[in-house]
Structure 1
Amino acid sequence: MSHPYLDESFHVRWSTLAPAAVEADITLALERAEQKLAEVVNQDRGRLSFESVIMGYEDALRELNESWGLVTHLDSVCNGPELREAHNKMLPKVSAFFAKIPLDEHLWDLVLTYSKTQEARDLTGTQRRAVDELLAWFRQHGAELPPAKKKRLEEIEAELSQATQKYSENVLDSTNAWDMVIDDVAQLKGLPQSAIDAAKADAAAKGLGTPEAPKYRFTLKAPSLIPVMEHAEDDSLRKRVWEGNGTVGRGDKYDNTALVWQILRLRHEKATLLGKPQFADYILERRMAKTGRTALTFTEDLHRKVKSAFDREIVDLQEYRADKTNTDVRLLEPWEVAYWSEKRRHERYDFDHEELRPYFPVDGVLSGMFRIAEKLFDVRIAERQTTFTAVGDGSGSETPAAPAESGAVEVWHPEVKFFDMRNADGVLIGGFYADWHPRDSKRSGAWMNYLKGGWPPNGERDRRPHLGLICGNMTPPVDGKPALLTHDEVCTIFHEFGHLIHQLFGNVPVPSLNGVNVAWDFVELPSQLMENFCWERESLDFFAKHNETGAPIPDDLFKKLINARNYMSAVSMMRQLSFGKLDLELHINHSTDENADLDRLGRTLLKDYIFPTNTEPPSMARRFGHLFSSPVGYAASYYSYKWAEVLDADAFTRFQHEGVLNPKVGRALRDNILSKGNSEDPAKLFRDFMGRDPDPNALLARAGLA
């Protein structure tokens, strides 16, 4: 293959995607996109049509979007020096290309001219929305700016791309730069055996220790960090990990402080260039909230409603610790909060989340989750055989890792799995990769994305299946035993699967309106709604099976899980609100405060939002990838999680009333929301499913805070 990143095959041949091929392939994709756009622009103005203008524009960009998507995906899951260099070399060129599109006066004139034709005026439904959305997108991205401002906007976009990429690299590199190796297992008292075994295996994998004298290695990846913070009895051990976590994006060569201010300043300048007072108003203009003030008011209203419960929960925990240690009530240290919280949860409810691990082997969770989806949405999900071959040298002479007749699907790492999803009639909806465990070359967190967007049959266009992926950093397997997950990790898998089915069920013939290409404060509705199935007995029994006996969760353990669900729910909710508050305040009121102390400013802004501790933690902003690891991402939009949580809490009541696994309700969700993408206003889609507007108190009621 001479240009592996441009290969049109549905299943990606990962072994051919060498870093050495990135520059040539993306350069060619850029040239082809430029040529195709020119053909669209130069068409006969007397014969303009929806197909030639709107669909022609989308088709012109598809190859570049998909090939560059492969590069950015590999940067997320297989990051290394050669790939990073290749990615960063092409990033400014790709960013500049996309930045120029809405500023191209000839292309803008074409779209505007078509929108005024009789054919365009007569459009209805999805086609009408596609034209309106494209017009709004061009205007929002500077199509009507004068030449000098257009030039500056292009420069800003290039600077933002490079600054956010460097920010992301600093987070990954500083996370990997820290570890803690323990020689004496006695220091690990209180830790679950699963965490001790994982730390021992991690050390051995790094060549540390021997079978006779093992060592135990801990990192800042969630499956390693969280058990220490919640269970280690050694206060100094928790302190070391907390201090280590504070080095992410902070200090020495990985410090993100200056980048945070640079990104904020560039976003603010971009917004003002485009006629908005600040970035939040700019970015939210075409989302459900519409303005930064609306989003901030939403956040502050929720804050007021949970503040008294939040304060009570803080005092209760402080008093509990004082009672247990026979000391005075005082502010906790930040490395004490999770530990004493878990200890009190265990005592109050006789419940330890570790008791649930044996019921959540990762393969069993996935299998049961798929069965739930099959029952609710009338689909079939089947695992495919996979094969892995290390990436070649990029010369184009690689042999395919898996001949087509074998039926095996290539993957980018041996742990990755692949699945097909089909309708009940056997028609392929799409396929998806699943990659669940941490690696040094893989970014933190969990996410869903797609590599190829699909569409339904339409006119002369045949059906095109979707190709998606779901990734995370869950508890890994140890010593050949199955990976046993926490309940929180299970919820995360269901969350990402919710995003995935939103994409795979997308049935809109216009790609830019399909799947997860919806308003950002609506996109979390399907993902957060799916988490609810992790709390219902009927759905849990589909996937919560003991890894050795196959038995379901015992009734008494299930009752403990439910009883403890809203334990310290105000603290949990306030933590999320604090992220949204910081995000909005930075982008609305403080985006040009470059001389301000980032830590002091954060403490001031979040005085009533964060759990008060004796030692003040550094600002989250330096490692807040949602906000700063891409030019837009969740910037001025982190409130979306809570906004959509109001919707999901309300929407799930229909399942509770009509049947948790009722196929009729599942089909209604698929038909009215999951398949619709951005083909209609999201508020209407919600009403179509629920028959009414959302109940604003649903979230507080579910959290026991109403």
Structure 2
Amino acid sequence: MANPFLQTDFEIRWSQLTPEHIALAIEQALTDAQTAIDEIAGRDVKTVTFENTFLALEKSTERLNQAWGKVTHLQLVADSPALRDAHNAMLPKVSAFFARIPLNAALWERLRAFWNTAAADELSPVRRRYLEETVADFRQQGADLAQEKRARFEALQSELAQVTQKYAENVLDATNAWELIVEDEARLAGLPEHAKAAAQRSAEAKGKAAWRFTLHMPSQEPFMTYLEDAELRREMWTAAVAVGGKAPHDNSPLVLRILALRTEKAAMLGKANFADLTLERRMAKSAATALAFVEDMGVRAKTAFAHECLELEEFKARSLGTSAGRLAPWEIGYWAEKLRKVRYDFDEEQLRPFFPMDRVIGGLFELAKRVFGLAIVERTDGSAEVWHPEVKFYDMRDDGGRHVGSFYADWHPRESKRGGAWMDSFITGGPRPDGSRAPHLGLMCGNMTPPVGDKPALLTHREVQTIFHEFGHLIHHLLGEVEIKALNGVNVAWDFVELPSQILENWCWERESLDLFARHHETGAAIPEEMFTKMVAARNFRSACAVMRQTAFGKMDLLLHAKPELTAGLTGDVESVARAAIAECLIPTEPASPTIVKRFTHLFSNPVGYAAGYYSYKWAEVLDADAFTRFKKEGVFSRKVGAAFVEHILSKGNSADPAELFRAFMGRDPELTALLKRCGLAA
């Protein structure tokens, strides 16, 4: 029987994917992939074609990518000591293998040989795009390095993979290591009932008759927003900001090592810094362009930001009859929510009963049907296994009945599961040479408010937006129609990849679309018009603080990766450097709140990931706000506009320059106006 990690069935048999199979599977996949690459590298240079070089190279690692993808996915959603050990034992080998591919001189010679043929100039646009992207990938990964430097470059890549994996493990382990047990119910005054019930259930699961709180967001967020007991809020805040900052989970030395390795990598490839290396093939093109964009957003928000900070200080002082002064960092969320209630007579918790998880998912699928012509049905016949009982499996068909893809959805937190929300893929399908089409297989994961007892999972509006966001990424993958898998789906420039996800969030603010799913879980009633009006009015409450928060993250990221001199030779705490880089973007508090540099998994839990690319969220907001104006103009349920978005954006992957794709959809280049209006920074 084939190793379960090497099976290529569309329906993955998760029950068979146990840690003892990992080493044998990955070793075999590595051997097979190396054999395929050796065959390409050994080919007579005079016989090279696009098919026997570039296409053969793409296919050479497909089996390995699928097998390793299952391993890394399980490590994210079902972590265990045995799984972690098996994953980490193979990680250096897998990392080293992929690092060696561009350093294979014979392989590079064959690729360049075809690159210089007349046949290369006659390729179809998609094939030419793949040829150019592959050559650029090789050069960016050291293909032109002198022979004596290649061993160091390979070792560097391998170490970077291991150090970033350890960073991610530290964040997860530190998050799970902390709990707060409250035995006196009186101290929970102000906490919403759903949060209190969830905490009681969490305590019961640990055999305790009390209320248990953790650093997972469904527990932490309502606690820090509503709990009246400031001392308890301080205790949770202290624990949260310490994640990744204390032994045995201290990421301080890892951050410095990661930055040093990235700087060395950039220098070996002839770049001034890692940010310039990373961004040369993205929409921004350079660190200077990205930094100028981020700083411009900060300048536009600066005046309003200062006003919002002062306003909150004065509001607290008036409420308590004291003189105004700096708030403690564990007071910001609490007093901001009180100010929101006073100003708009609106409490986000009032919306929660209107967002039961099942209705939200159902409404999302109905929206997908109306706008994009997609029919989504849960598969319940047992033919598709899942990795946890809470996970669901769905099939997606287009309006012609064609099976475009399937996906898993895993929405609730577990201790064995990484925090945050994400989308990923298991199988990339698309057009086949015979004219047929293979379906794609993907997944969506999150850490949303779970159900409590016999009550359904009731979500916050922010959680609803997160689900829509990840679904946008998902359909970008599932609707890909590019013949070359490496160019399909979400394999696009990092500062373009958030357009499909962020544009979906806009429907969470439209009355027409909200009425599809925002229904009271007991009565079925829609959100009352008065409440909807308040919700929209409060949308830009403290929006300058929100803009400045994203500016801070993007600026810290870019400065750490564009100015290696900031951390070169540093042996102490990286916090002081990170804070100095973004001090003017931070809400002034007493005491000062540390940055998230030691728990910033977007930047440091992957060899590249969002490193030097966190600005992409705000960059893509410009694109999504602008693109959604077409839906607003022609109808939020417009099938015509939805079809155009599928045709020009979702189906095209990286088959053309992203700026060209945006122009094809909008008929022009993006404009900043729509975003500034949406976040209240322009009339």
- Is TM more than 0.5 here? yes
Q: Which runs of 4+ in 1 moved over 3 A?
A: 43-47
Aligned residue identity for 1:420: D
Q: Answer yes or no: is the 8 Å Cα contact 2:560–2:578 preserved in 1.
A: no
In structure 2, what is the equivalent of residue 511 of structure 1? Answer: 485
Equivalent residue number for residue 394 of structure 1: none
Q: Are 1:101 and 2:76 an aligned pair?
A: no
Task: Using the TM superposition, give the Cα deviation of residue 47 of structure 1 relative to its aligned residue in structure 2, in angstroms.
Answer: 3.6
2:625·2:675 contact (CA, 8 Å) conserved in 1?
Answer: yes
1:407 & 1:164 partners in 2: Cα distance?
A: 37
The aligned counterpart of 1:414 is: 389
State whether residues 448 and 468 of structure 1, in contact with CA within 8 Å, keep that contact through their aligned partners in structure 2: yes
Corresponding residue for 2:196? 196
Amino acid of the structure 2 residue aligned with 1:264: L
Question: Paired residue for 2:232, among 224, 230, 237?
Answer: 237
Which string of whole-angstrom CA distances, capped at 9 and with x for unpartnered residues, describes residues 112-131 of structure 1? 11111221111131111111
Match of 1:341 among 319, 336, 339: 336
1:593 Cα deviation from its structure 2 partner? 4.8
Aligned equivalent of 2:261, options 256, 263, 266: 266
Moved more, 131-140 or 38-47: 38-47
Render the CA deviation track for 1:29-66: whole Å, top value 9, x for unaligned: 00000011122223344443222222111111100001
SS at match of 2:444: strand
Q: Secondary structure at the match of 2:322?
A: coil
Deviation at 1:591, TM superposition (A): 4.3
Q: Match for residue 275 of structure 2?
A: 280
Match for 2:345 among 336, 350, 360? 350
Matched with 2:593 is 617
Residue 482 of structure 1 pairs with residue 493 of structure 2: no
Aligned to 2:355: 360
1:473 and 2:468 matched: no
Where do 1:126-205 residues align within 5 Å? Answer: 126-205=126-205
* Distance of 2:51 and 2:362 partners within structure 1: 41
* Contact 1:381 1:422 (C-alpha < 8 Å) held by counterparts: yes
**Residue aligned with 2:586, SS:** coil
Quote the Cα distance in structure 2 between the aligned partners of 1:313 and 1:44.
68
Partner Cα separation in structure 1 for residue 36 and residue 437 of structure 2: 22
* Alignment check: 8 A CA contact 2:391 2:408 kept: yes
Deviations 1:147-197 (A, max 9, x none): 122111101111101100110000000000000000011101001101000
1:670 maps onto 2:646 in alignment: yes
> The residue matched to 2:409 in structure 1 has which SS?
strand
1:605-658 CA-partner distances (Å, limit 9, x unpaired):
112101010012223110000000011100000000000001101010111111
Gaps of 5+ in 2: none
Cα distance, 1:24–1:357 mapped onto 2, change above 3 Å: same
The structural deviation recorded for 1:594 is 2.1
- Give the structure 2 partner of residue 644 of structure 1: 620
Counterpart in the other structure of 1:439: 414
Counterpart AA for 2:553: F
Letter of the aligned partner of 1:289 in structure 2? A
Match of 2:158, SS? helix
Aligned counterpart, 1:396: none
- How far off is 1:705 after superposition? 0.6
Per-residue CA deviation, residues 193-249 of structure 1 (Å, 9 max, x unaligned), is 01000000110111111xxxxx10000000000001100011101101101102211
| 1:580 aligned residue | 554
C-alpha contact (below 8 Å) 1:95/1:157 kept by paired residues: yes
SS of the equivalent of 1:606 reads helix
Distance in 2 between residues matched to 1:190 and 1:13, nearest whole Å: 45
- Residue of structure 1 in register with 2:246 after alignment: 251
Cα displacement (A) at 1:461: 6.6
Q: Which residue does 1:464 correspond to in 2?
A: 438
1:290 is matched with: 285
Equivalent residues in 2 for 1:201-240, closer than 5 Å: 201-209=201-209, 215-240=210-235
CA distance in 2, matches of 1:550, 1:245: 37
Aligned to 1:494: 468
Structure 2 residue identity aligned to 1:148? E
Query: What amino acid maps onto 1:200 in structure 2?
Result: Q
Contact 1:5 1:25 in 2 (8 A): yes
Distance 1:417 1:597 in 2: 43
Which secondary structure state, in structure 2, belongs to the residue aligned with residue 494 of structure 1?
helix
Which residue matches 2:508? Answer: 534
Q: Report the counterpart of residue 389 of structure 1 in structure 2.
A: none
Contact 1:268-1:591 at 8 Å conserved across structures: no
Q: How does 1:558-569 map to 2 (within 5 A)?
A: 558-569=532-543
Unaligned ranges ≥5, structure 1: 210-214, 386-405
Asked whether the equivalents of residues 268 and 592 of structure 1 are also in contact (C-alpha less than 8 Å), the reply is no
Aligned pair partner of 1:688 in 660, 664, 667: 664
Q: Which residue of 2 aligns with 1:390?
A: none
How many Å separate the matches in 2 of 1:696 and 1:146? 44
Asked whether the equivalents of residues 66 and 451 of structure 1 are also in contact (C-alpha less than 8 Å), the reply is yes
Q: Residue type matched to 2:339 in 1?
A: R
Distance in 2 (alpha carbons) for counterparts of 1:546 and 1:190: 23
Structure 2 SS opposite 1:608: helix
What is the CA RMSD across the aligned residues, in angstroms? Answer: 1.0
* Other-structure match for 2:401: 426
CA contact (8 A) 1:288 1:519 kept: yes
Q: Does 1:70 align with 2:45?
A: no
Secondary structure of residue in 1 paired with 2:397? strand
- Counterpart CA distance in 2 for 1:446 and 1:60 is 31
User: For 1:639 and 1:645, how far apart are their aligned partners in 2?
Assistant: 10
Q: What does residue 608 of structure 1 align with?
A: 584
Q: How far apart, in 1, do the equivalents of 2:577 and 2:113 lie?
A: 48
Q: Which amino acid aligns with 1:14?
A: W
| Identity of matched residues, % | 54
Q: CA deviation at 1:523?
A: 0.3
Distance 1:691 1:121 in 2: 28
The 5-angstrom pairing of residues 45-64 of structure 1 reads 45-64=45-64
Aligned to 1:547, which of 516, 521, 539?
Answer: 521
d(CA) in 2 for partners of 1:183, 1:297: 51
Task: Give the corresponding residue for 1:8.
Answer: 8
- Please tell me whether the aligned partners of residues 252 and 574 of structure 2 are also in contact (alpha carbons under 8 angstroms): yes
CA distance in 2, matches of 1:123, 1:592: 46
